[in-house]
Structure 1
Amino acid sequence: MALASRYPDVEIPELSVPQFVLAGAAERRDSPALIDGTSGETITHGELAFYVERLAAALAARGLRKGDVVAVFAPNTIWYPVVFHGIAAAGCVVSPINALYTPDEIAFQLKDSGAKVLITISLFLDRAQAAVAQAPVDEIVVMDGAEGHASLRDLLTTDAPAVQVDIDPATDLVTLPYSSGTTGLPKGVMLTHRNLVANVTQSRPLAGVEDGDERIIAVLPFFHIYGLTVLMNQGLQWGGTVVTLPRFDLEQFLRAIQDHRITRAFVAPPIVLALAKHPMVDQFDLSSLRSVTSGAAPLDESLAQAAQDRLRKGAAEGTSVGQGYGMTELSPVSHTTPEVGLEPAGAGPTPKGTVGYALPNTECRLVDPATGEDCAPGERGELWVRGPQVMAGYLNNPQATADTLDREGWLHTGDVAIVDDEGRYTVVDRVKELIKYKGYQVAPAELEAVLLGHPEITDAAVIGVLERDTGDELPKAFVVRAPGSSLDEDGVIAFVAERVAPHKKVRLVEFIEQVPKSMAGKILRKDLKARA
């Protein structure tokens, strides 16, 4: 049974992504659109629109045409949005590359996407050149300049005529990020202009936006769809100021919030963990911060509450900590926690631990993975999503597309969820990550939440380890101890055993210095399995 959003549908503008995001640039031309959080360098909304128009003209003059793919291999800078929207305005497709990728990984994406141009920075040039040696492109552009390569300045100072490209938002691609999807090797996720425009439009009714006054901290990478849509495009479309940081450094992050009077932080659970537990937080004035929204991985209820309580002690009385849910194939958001006062009619405050409500224009189903039948009310099932934010499919991979996106337009997320009577969803775990112990299903995320409740544990991850004799998977915890802690394996096992059913108990414990995570905050379980 399809479950409709508790929010009324919104109208999706028939615009390209640059037209939509930069629509208000003229009226706020002198206000800051982007600020470098480390140097203070600034691009105004007017300058951003001008640079985008010039870059599109330069790309067209270099022979790029509608539908051509341009890969971008760079960290967050104030120039990343210029590059993204300039490529999009030229009718080309942006394929963002993870800044941590090796030459082999970059080469795979260049070849698979059919990229004609690679735009990077001088610090990444060695890896870029090694990749291009395997998967040639027509040109490497180095944003900050390098001998033998055009720079971004060279492109922006072109006197080439402006270009007008006829874009069909519903069918023309704007970006091609790569995702492993529910399983397997990375695949190009085909996202249209309409996908991205829809997702920003759908999110707004739950956000309580103060036009032009929002200041968003952009520490999550723009090469990830979360950073690209939620931080970069959404922040700019609101007419706000996006403050960029090249990577997460806690002191730098806290200082940027303080000095730039940040109002909203869209983060991942490791940052919420730092806000809740790290002593450095008390050294900074975070009173401007009204909203912290976590995504990319499950956020435990008690951790969200602890972070909110601590931030409110810092005089930011209105600070709320919530979470959302999505994936690259959803552009990326399908569910989020509304700002206080923006709950659906008749609904109360959104409990911590849930991912909130389905966005407007979004339908959901919870389906039993074993039978393919809809689950009864109150039962857990795989979350299926249908709406205008759902991808067009995987590039050149019809089988993977068919495995994930069915003929009725339902995206099978691979995540297990439950919905309450108010229409609020809680994501329990991934279908593929559930641990099978003596016929029972054990959710790693549930055990990780329990572990993080221990005062001497600063981080934790859980995987299933195969027991050869029985064929069962034993829950194994990888634990990061707090400084000075003498917590041992028996102490961890006993702590969890007191709080969960017998079949969910942790059976093995390994202490590690750091839980391996992607730049988007997801636990890299494959790395843990490799050492288990």
Structure 2
Amino acid sequence: MRNYLLNLIINKNRRIFVSRFFTTSGHTSKESDVLSKKHAEIQHSLYSPLQLPETDLFTFAYNSCKAWKNKTFTQCAVTGKTYTYAQTLDSALRWGSAVKKLLPNRDDGGNSTIAFICSNSPDYVPLILGSIAAGAIVSPISPLYTPEEAANQLRESQAELLVVDSLYESNVDAILKLLGKSLPVVVNGVSEQGRPNAQEVLMDRNAKMLDIDY
């Protein structure tokens, strides 16, 4: 066992971090410390460093998807609803324009925060991308959160708008009651309480799109 462990330490082809406190029955703590210093070294990848784009998510998606406009981007396994890359970006720009109307510029010049309680559906993608394109900060909230947990995230993120799937709209009143203040709510789907329907924006080909300059 001792020889096996020493071979692992000495073998430079293996990326192993050796604790300075590692000891065996054949080595004292001091000897192991010297051994660690001698053989422990930083291992670098054989590949070039990954170049991360210095841009926001919408701009990256917009520039990357141009060659795939008519290809399917997302599809719901339950309903079969699909979005192509072009449909996703168009819907995102429609939603972005609506966001600009729903959330006027803040007096302090900061970015408004939009919270989402949505499933991982095809509609969720253009809602997120459009919010980012409009300059908003997005704060996704897990649909599995309790009303208390959701209210805490709304409070801590200082959200100014809540977007919720129609499936979870029944939780909104309890969440806002715990939050202690009213908040504009848009429902992704038909609302049982007459709230605005995000689908009417996403699917309306005549709706105004957000002006972008790329």
Normalising by structure 2, we get a TM-score of 0.70
| One of 103, 116, 137 as aligned partner of 1:93 | 137
Q: How does 1:233-252 map to 2 (within 5 A)?
A: none
Matched AA of 2:160: K
CA 1:129–1:9: 2 relative to 1, 3 Å:
same
Contact 2:71 2:85 in 1 (8 A): yes
Residue 76 of structure 2 corresponds to which residue in structure 1? Answer: 36
172, 180, 184: which one aligns with 1:128? 172
| C-alpha displacement of 1:2 | 8.6
Which one of the candidate residues 59, 76, 79 is aligned to 2:99? 59
* CA distance in 2 between partners of 1:137 and 1:116 (Å): 10
Task: State the structure with bigger RCO (CA 8 A, min sep 6), 1 or 2.
Answer: 2
Determine which of 195, 199, 202 is the counterpart of 1:149.
195
Identify the structure with the greater strand proportion. Answer: 1
CA distance 1:75–1:88, shift in 2 (3 Å): same
Shift of 1:133: 1.8
Q: Partner of 2:63: helix, strand, or coil?
A: coil
**Equivalent residue runs for 1:67-466 within 5 Å:** 67-135=111-179, 136-146=181-191, 147-156=193-202, 157=204, 159-160=207-208, 162-164=210-212
Distance 1:33 1:161 in 2: 20
- CA contact 1:61–1:160 (8 Å) conserved in 2: no
Cα deviation, 1:493-530, whole Å, max 9, x if unaligned, reads xxxxxxxxxxxxxxxxxxxxxxxxxxxxxxxxxxxxxx
1:15 pairs with 2:59: no
State the secondary structure of the residue aligned to 1:22: helix
**Structure ranking higher in helix proportion:** 2
In 2, are the aligned partners of 1:115 and 1:137 still within 8 Å (CA)? no
Shift of 1:40: 1.5
SS at match of 2:66: coil
Q: CA deviation at 1:121?
A: 1.3
Which protein shows a greater Rg?
2
1:446-493 CA distance string (max 9 Å, x none)? xxxxxxxxxxxxxxxxxxxxxxxxxxxxxxxxxxxxxxxxxxxxxxxx
What's the CA shift for 1:32? 0.2
Summarize deviations over 1:386-426 as a string: whole Å, max 9, x none: xxxxxxxxxxxxxxxxxxxxxxxxxxxxxxxxxxxxxxxxx
CA contact (8 A) 1:70 1:117 kept: yes
Q: Which runs of 5 or more residues in structure 1 are unaligned?
A: 166-532
RMSD: 2.2
CA contact (8 A) 1:72 1:120 kept: yes
Distance 1:133 1:24, change over 3 A: same
Question: CA separation of 1:2/1:58 partners in 2, compared to 1, >3 Å: closer, same or farther?
Answer: farther
Cα distance in structure 1, aligned partners of 2:79 and 2:93: 25
Divergent runs of 4+, >4 A: none
Residue matched to 1:518: none
